[in-house]
Structure 1
């Protein structure tokens, strides 16, 4: 996560639930969700599927990334 003014505002207002969507829309700025990073490692063969699911935040989101 890169702390942008929008992210700072969400944190200041205590609206942390909105941070996930800000990270997703901030991909052009280099932001990436942990589950996306884990899926990339799995697709590169660097981790097993079991490890991917063990360390992910949201199994359903990871399932969509992995396919």
Structure 2
């Protein structure tokens, strides 16, 4: 029998109050582990080149000029 199934079977034999206490204790333990696990740091440089295919064939200066012209109406 797997450990999970064995633990679940044992938990089902607890009183409802004991089951609630077990759930609270497990939740607290999990929350502590999750908050203690450092998330890997990310770098803005990971986005370099993302979406570059959108700009293929577009002249940058022409695009900027069109945008500026649209500001003036």
- Judge same fold: TM > 0.5, yes or no: no
Q: TM-score range by the shorter chain?
A: under 0.3
Q: RCO (CA 8 Å, sep 6+): is it higher in 1 or 2?
A: 1
TM-score, normalised on structure 1? Answer: 0.24
